[in-house]
Structure 1
Amino acid sequence: MQSRRNLILILASVGTFVEALDIAIINLTIPSIQAQFNIGAESVQWLQTLYVLFFGGFIIIGGKLTDQIGRRKIFLWGSLLFMLTSLGAGLAPSFEALAVFRALQGLGAALIMPAALSIVSNTFRESQERSRALGIFSSFAAIGSGSGLSIGGLLSTYLSWHWVFLINVPILLVTLVLAYFYLPQDEKDENIPKTDTLSGILLVFGLLSLTYGTHELMHIKEQPLVVGSSLVLALVLLGIVFYRLKTVTEPLFDLGLFKHTSLVVSNIAFFALGSFFIGFLFLISLMLQKDMGHTAATAGLLLVPFSILSALVSKFALPLILKRLNPTQIGILGWSCMFVGGLSLFLAVFLNHPLTLVLFGAACISGVGMTFCFTSLSFLGVRDVDPANYGIASSLTSTTYFLGAGIGLSFMTLLSQLFPSDWAVGGLSVLILIGYALCGMATILYMAYDGKKAVA
């Protein structure tokens, strides 16, 4: 019985590892894709943006479908979609086809993530074992994010950029077969309300429009009507969604979930985490290749130790820390590492990029900080929520993470173009990164203060 539950934990964790891996894996392959399709940097960036938009936009629906249709079914369908679209992206004959498959990858990830978390949370119900299981599950996501750069750089250099997508196919094929036979059947519950599909669609298009408008703010002088209309449309659509959440009989999700302080704090901190970590992946790729002159393969090899460090921290350090610190304290520790890492990169810009200082910053962020932050915030997101709402609670935190990723990266890019630097990565960009870390730290410190006040 215990061995089967451990297998279930591994299957769910592999699913979230793959979707997290694909957020980072494309960064060091961008020059190769540009060369093959003869496109500029502004066009190729949409491969990352589309993945983030579709992931963040559809994950609310994915969470709701997880609660309504069943964890097992949504996990299987999401994994199948992700596998097929990875195959399509790897074999894409044109940039347009690659962009379409990349967007659909995000849709598959939006189904996998809430279903996988719900599977883990419902398989391990006792408090201590659930904490341990969620720690392992979250660490797989952190390892996937942390190892994406190194794996992408190595694959694109020694094989080709196609393999950053094709590598998902055999992994997910094995996962699908085992999941089909070993994941428990979904319990039938006739009392679960139907999904408010209209609100879900409006939410997706609202978030897409908001992120597009933010992404294109740098071109507002050339296209004021397009950019302005996108932002206005986003406000209108999201306003309609908010109105429907308050008035329809069976809303997309219950606004009452936000009565839980831990859920509110985790959402705000996840927004900051998305802004910080996706920004870090973007900046470290530019810094290593453009400012320091390393090839994609060399950059990937330089970042391999931090993938290993992340795995070691997750395997050995995290279980010990979970026994001694509560999730809020772990979050403070994680954001402290993020801040120190950002400060190291900031100093590196002004000291002619000493490799030791750059790698120390990367170690603090992707090797340690991301593991602690993701684990802490994932636990806080579902800590006080009823088990029946684990799927939607997970999807809410993931939505804020990817919305933060899209808006945070666009804001950083906008300011870096308004105030250009002699370096590909200027001090202002890293300073913004540090600002995101301080915002995340502030929310966790508020959680700690609120908890002490409640006890008193």
Structure 2
Amino acid sequence: MANSQPSFLATGRGKLTLTLLCTIAFLDFIDASIVNIALPAMRRALDFSLQDLQWVPSGYLLTYGGLMLLGGRLADLLGRRRVVVTGTVLFSLSAVIGGLATTPGMLIGARLAQGAGAALMLPGTLSILTTMFKEGGDRGRALGVWGGVAGGASAAGVLLGGLLTEGPGWRWVMLVNVPVCVLVIAGLFLLVEGDRRTARLANFDVLGTVLVTGGMLLLVFTLVKAPEVGWDAARTIGGLAGSLVLLLAFLFNEQRGRNPLLPLSIFRIRGLAAADVTQLVAVAGIGSMFFFLSLYMVNVLGYSPLETGSAYLPLCFGVAVAAGVSSRLLTRIGTRPLMVAGLLLAGAGVYWLSRIPVDGSYPTDLLPGLLISSLGLGAAFVAVTTAANAGVPPDQAGLAAALLNASQQLGGALGLAIFTAVATSRTNALLADRTPVPQALTAGFSRALLACGVFLAAAAAVALRAANSHGEAAEAEIAPDLEPEPVR
């Protein structure tokens, strides 16, 4: 019996292993937002154009989301530790290059490479967690900590970015990764056993890899550029159509291939697809919330980078508390009630934030909404992460992790594209009517935040279709006809 075996998480090695894995996740998650506060300083130092500057954050998201599925499958087939170490080395080297960059192109190239490294790191790391922590509720508690890290990383990125930019300087938003990566690599060899390769590269699904990577890269690129070129522009319509064609061709190839990159049988696991879609829609809303609130604090309230980052401290604390409580509640009430309640609570907090005035006050206009959102986020991310990994066979753990995190990156790009268009449209209309700039900006941010809240409510509705996993019991919740895909 599984529950008769001692708890791995209760051991010193188990605690160190969980800390290591969550540190890797924190690195990958935080680097999506840590550069945002430093962008003005980067622009001045390297003489960026406004058009090129957006590629510092967007370049990371492009390769991170576009290569995620490939990273997850490589981890399953070539060995999780091997792929995570490779990704960490690439992540660290690109951080050095970015931190020492002397031209805009050098920094953008480093961010593209860093995203590729993160795409190799994250799916393998989450699959290591779900395969190492199995017994006596260990997995539920471990995923609770992971969910807390995921929920609070964006806010922590803004805070750390502000501290570094106003302290040692903008270059340290890149260089700070290097010593952490060195410790991570050492920890991986000390704490995680190497797993054997289960396939040869000669049998790898090259066509499927090309199709899905091309489709995801084109989709994320099109979404990132859409607010700038226009949703009705031929370039946007062509990019969306092209990505759809590539992804449909990928699914057709996977259905017929002998060694598919994405065995479609994984979608027979009850509730997995619903959990991934919930993640996509929720991140579209919550990721954009950080973006617009930060712009409001800097451009309307006149906060410094450090003040803007510090404003998110209560949210980070709230997420951590909610994640800890939720990981214990999960075994009693299951993932579905936590997802639905958490997302509705987060949506209510974002609705509060959408009522921001031009002369806003942090204690009355921002803090209550941030605290309400944090409690919902902590619960939702723990539950979604657990539900998306429940019932997954060990040989597909990396793939399941990649699907969840690809949903997160695609959701972030999609949300930013949609809500930036919403905010810009409202602001431009008011400016055309000679409305003062602070009022026009606030109205645009407010409308975008309201749309973010609607997306969180929609994510709660999608979560009703997810399986109600109770941690370990969820491993039995697999459709009867599900069989692992053979690796030849």
* Same fold, judged at TM 0.5 (above): yes
* Residues 68 and 405, structure 2, Cα contact 8 Å, conserved in 1: yes
2:372 to 364, 381, 398: 364
SS of the aligned residue for 1:115 comes to: helix
Question: Could you tell me how far apart the structure 2 residues matched to 1:404 and 1:172 are?
Answer: 27
Identify the residue that residue 232 of structure 1 maps to in structure 2: 241
**CA displacement 1:49-88 (0-9 Å, x = unmatched):** 2211211111101110110011111111111111111111
Structure 1: gaps spanning 5 or more residues: none
Corresponding residue for residue 410 of structure 2:
403
Distance 2:222 2:187 in 1: 42
Q: Offset of 1:9 from its aligned partner?
A: 1.6
Match of 2:455 in 1: 436
1:348 aligns with 2:356: yes
- Is the partner of 1:26 in helix, strand or coil? coil
Asked if 1:66 corresponds to 2:91, the answer is: no
Match of 1:447 in 2: 466
1:145 and 1:325 map into 2 onto residues whose CA distance is: 28
Q: 1:156 aligns with which of 158, 162, 165?
A: 165
The structure 2 residue matched to 1:334, chosen from 338, 342, 355, is 342
- Matched with 1:75 is 84
Indicate the SS of the match to 2:259.
coil
For the 8 Å contact 1:17–1:143, the answer to whether it is kept is no
Say if 1:237 and 1:313 are closer, same or farther in 2 by CA, change over 3 A: same
**Corresponding residue for residue 54 of structure 1:** 63
Please tell me the residue identity of whatever aligns with 1:344.
W
Q: How does 1:124-135 map to 2 (within 5 A)?
A: 124-126=133-135, 128-135=137-144
Task: List per-residue Cα deviations over 1:364-392 (Å, max 9, x = no partner).
Answer: 33x33332222111111111221221110
Structure 1 contact 27–285 (Cα < 8 Å) conserved: no
Shift in Å, 1:194: 4.1
Report if aligned partners of 1:195, 1:252 keep a CA contact under 8 Å in 2: yes
Q: In structure 1, how many angstroms separate the alpha carbons of the residues matched to 2:233 and 2:314?
A: 45
The answer as to whether partners of 2:224 and 2:417 remain within 8 angstroms in 1 is yes
| 1:102 alignment partner, one of 93, 106, 111 | 111
Q: Displacement of 1:402 after TM fit?
A: 0.8
Taking the TM superposition and a 5 Å limit, the aligned residue runs for 1:259-338 are 259-315=268-324, 317-338=325-346
Figure out how many residues of one structure are paired with residues of the other and give that number. 449
The one-letter code sitting in structure 2 at the alignment partner of 1:184 is: E
What do the CA deviations read for 1:278-332 (whole angstroms, capped 9, x no partner)?
A: 20121111011011111111112222233233334444x3443334431112212
Q: Distance in 2 between matches of 1:193 and 1:377?
A: 35
Aligned partners of 2:119 and 2:410: how far apart in 1?
13
Quote the Cα distance in structure 1 between the aligned partners of 2:467 and 2:245. Answer: 36
Counterparts of 1:190 and 1:100, CA distance in 2: 31
How high is the sequence identity, in percent, across the aligned residues?
24
Say if 2:214 and 2:246, in contact at 8 Å, map to a contact too: yes
| Equivalent residues of 2:298, 2:305 under 8 A apart | yes
**Residues 225 and 306 of structure 1: CA distance in aligned 2, closer, same or farther (over 3 Å):** closer
Partner amino acid, structure 1, of 2:452 = L
1:108: Cα distance to partner? 0.9
Aligned-partner residue type, residue 336 of structure 2: T
Within 2, Cα distance between the matches of 1:409 and 1:221?
Answer: 14
Correspondence for 1:426: 445
| Correspondence for 1:147 | 156
Partner of 1:246: 255
Shift of 1:408: 1.5
Please say which of residues 442-451 and 193-202 is displaced more in the overlay.
442-451
State whether structure 2 residue 386 is matched by structure 1 residue 379. yes
| CA contact 1:29–1:152 (8 Å) conserved in 2 | yes
The structure 1 segments of at least 4 consecutive aligned residues displaced by more than 6 Å after TM superposition are 448-451
Take 1:336 and 1:202, find their aligned partners in 2: how far apart are those partners?
Answer: 36
TM-aligned CA distance change 1:34 to 1:223, over 3 Å:
farther
Distance 1:61 1:418, change over 3 A: same
SS of alignment partner, residue 421 of structure 2: helix
Deviations 1:80-104 (A, max 9, x none): 1111111111111111111111111
**Greater Cα shift, 282-291 or 334-343:** 334-343
Amino acid at match of 1:292: L
Among 202, 208, 215, the alignment partner of 2:211 is 202
For structure 2, the residue ranges without an aligned partner over 5 or more in a row are: 1-7, 431-439, 471-476, 478-488
Deviation at 1:416, TM superposition (A): 2.3
Q: Residue 225 of structure 1: CA displacement?
A: 4.3
- Tell me the distance in 2 between the aligned counterparts of 1:72 and 1:244: 28
Matched position secondary structure for 1:27: coil
Q: Residue 217 of structure 1: which of 222, 226, 232 is its match?
A: 226
- For residue 359 of structure 1, report the CA deviation from its aligned partner: 2.1
| Secondary structure of the structure 2 residue equivalent to 1:93 | coil
Contact 1:147 1:306 in 2 (8 A): no
Distance in 2 between residues matched to 1:157 and 1:450, nearest whole Å: 44
1:259 and 1:144 mapped to 2: Cα distance?
A: 31
How far apart are the structure 2 equivalents of 1:333 and 1:192? 44
SS of equivalent to 1:216: helix
Over the aligned positions, Cα root-mean-square deviation in angstroms equals: 2.5
Partner of 2:482: none
The aligned residue for residue 435 of structure 2 is none
Give, in whole Å, the separation in 1 of the partners of 2:133 and 2:445.
46
Residue 173 of structure 1 deviates from its aligned partner by 0.8
Secondary structure at the residue paired with 2:441?
coil
- Cα 1:171–1:218, aligned 2, differ >3 Å: closer, same or farther? closer
- The 1-side partners of 2:162 and 2:407 are apart by 28
Q: Distance in 2 between matches of 1:306 and 1:138?
A: 14
Change (3 A) 1:324 1:209: same
Cα drift, residue 190 of structure 1: 5.8
1:177 aligns with 2:186: yes
CA distance in 2, matches of 1:192, 1:171: 31
The alpha carbon displacement at 1:215 in A equals 3.1
The answer to whether the 8 A contact 2:143-2:327 is kept is no
Cα deviation code 1:155-181 (max 9, x no counterpart): 111221111111111111111112122
Q: Does 1:16 align with 2:25?
A: yes
What is the DSSP-based 3-state SS (H/G/I as helix, E as strand, rest coil) of the residue aligned with 2:464?
helix
Structure 2 Cα separation of the partners of residues 374 and 194 of structure 1: 36
Following superposition, the deviation at residue 221 of structure 1 comes to 6.5
Scaled by the length of structure 1, the TM-score of the pair is: 0.91
**Shift, 1:242, TM fit:** 1.6
- Tell me if structure 2 keeps the 8 A contact 1:337–1:368: yes
